[in-house]
Structure 1
Amino acid sequence: MRFDLADLHLFLCIVDAGSITAGANRANLALASASERLRNMESAAGVVLLERRPRGILTTEAGEALAHHARVILRQQEMLKGELQDFAVGVRGTLHLYTNTAALTEFLPGRLASWLADRPRLRIELKERTSADIVRAIASGLAEAGVVSDAVETEGLQLQPVAKDHLALIVPRTHALAQCDKVCLAQVLDQPFIGLSQGSALQDHIDAHARSAGGLFDIRIRMKTFEGVCEMVAHGVGVGIVPLSVARRCRRRYPFQTLLMADDWARRQLCLCFGDWKQLSAPMRSLLSHLGANTDGF
């Protein structure tokens, strides 16, 4: 026994109208076509669904059961259509946004909050990666978009700056470098260092530049947060590298000195990174626009 949605809709139109003729009109079908569909339904069910009377129809017990389930099925179909429409227009689903450490901790929280609050059926999964890893993931089709440093090679992808992300060296106030304005990474490779935890995209990025400069950090301890790094430095445990925005915020609480880094790779901007704008999902386009994407050329 197989009833399609059109059969169920017609049956309810007939039941609600009280006659086959009126029900056919509600369903926008010719009377002959509606009558033929109804006969086929009863034949498939193997039971009489309607009693035909001179002044209309009455539902049999089997017909009442069918009417009940038809209403449930059609209501669920409308709910399904609504949910799929939500996905289509970008108000439901899960977005996977790849991001480097600085964007994850400093740039995104304040900007994502209002956007997500307006879309209660959407979820965002943030994936922390180095900028180079993010570019590779987008170029290979494993990710739609991400937030990266402009210091990375983009392999032909779109790169749009949205915020400054300069890195700074922080040192105890009594440190020999405390009176300097700027410093290069090579000058501090022999210093006790406060690192970020294993797996931090920013720490991986800094470590790679340390190796390029011909050395490795003498890491005394790794901290999970930038605030933890700042507190350790303030107590004289070692030096650390954090985004300049973090240093400016945390020095109100922790006594340390902030030195700008003179290395080109440390004078960064945070950028949105993506491929073909038209190939992005509707919710991703909405999110990137909210984060500052310039869509004039798309």
Structure 2
Amino acid sequence: MKLLRWGPPDAEKPGLIAADGSIRDLSAEIADLAPARMTPADWDRLHGLDPAALPAVPAGERLGPPVAGVGNIVCIGLNYHDHARETGIPAPPEPIVFNKHTGALTGPAGPVPLPRGSLKMDWEAELAVVIGTRAYAVREQDALAHVAGYCVANDVSERVYQMERGGQWVKGKSCPGFCPLGPWLVTPDEVPDPQALRVWLEVNGRRMQDGTTADMIFPVAFLVSYLSRFMALQPGDVILTGTPAGTGLGHDTFLREGDRIRLGIDGLGEQDQPVTANGAGNGGGH
């Protein structure tokens, strides 16, 4: 299934994509796509619905982040061989783990506002993994059973805040609009191999990133298992799994007002975001 949340910011309703590409309203079946409603049993029940019997959502409705009530955004740095090479940093012996504040969440169409004083705002197309059931000290071979679904994410970063202002990376990762998520949450039955997905991103129509999750240093199942050694992953937690080569940092070029970012992942949909003026509202909603 391809699940989503549609409507005004902070008032989104749940929906799904029907076989004909139309959006169908799920609000009579489930209150929201929230952490307590993303178990395998919940997905089985929704799978049993006839999309044609659900109300159609009018075309052009805004899409919000496809998951409500996200508690944590846990991120992995330098997790693609080609990205490590472009930065000149050796592949890490263990995953580099950091956080984004949930206040960065926005929908797949942004906009992405430049933070005040931004000099090096960057893009990072990433596969996002959404946890569906609590995962603590899980084995790698069992890890994917805890995944509710996958979606596209843009791990927007302000590199000056991240790398030149001291302290933790979270400062450069957490401004409003810095985590566009969606358009859909795609359930695991439609993603049989999360290590076989093409990831791409364009800025102003120029292809900057074009990689594959097969190039990950640490694959998704390992990451879920690894993180669960140090924390109890909760339903609704989002893991951003790293980005392939082609970042602004790798090219020494960064985003400016008026730029347009477009990105996508095979089978998970596309995002399209304008870069807006310093301090503008994110317009995305949680």
TM-score (norm 1): 0.23
Task: From the CA coordinates, give the structure whose radius of gyration is larger.
Answer: 1
More strand by share: 2
TM-score (norm 2): 0.23
More helix by share: 1
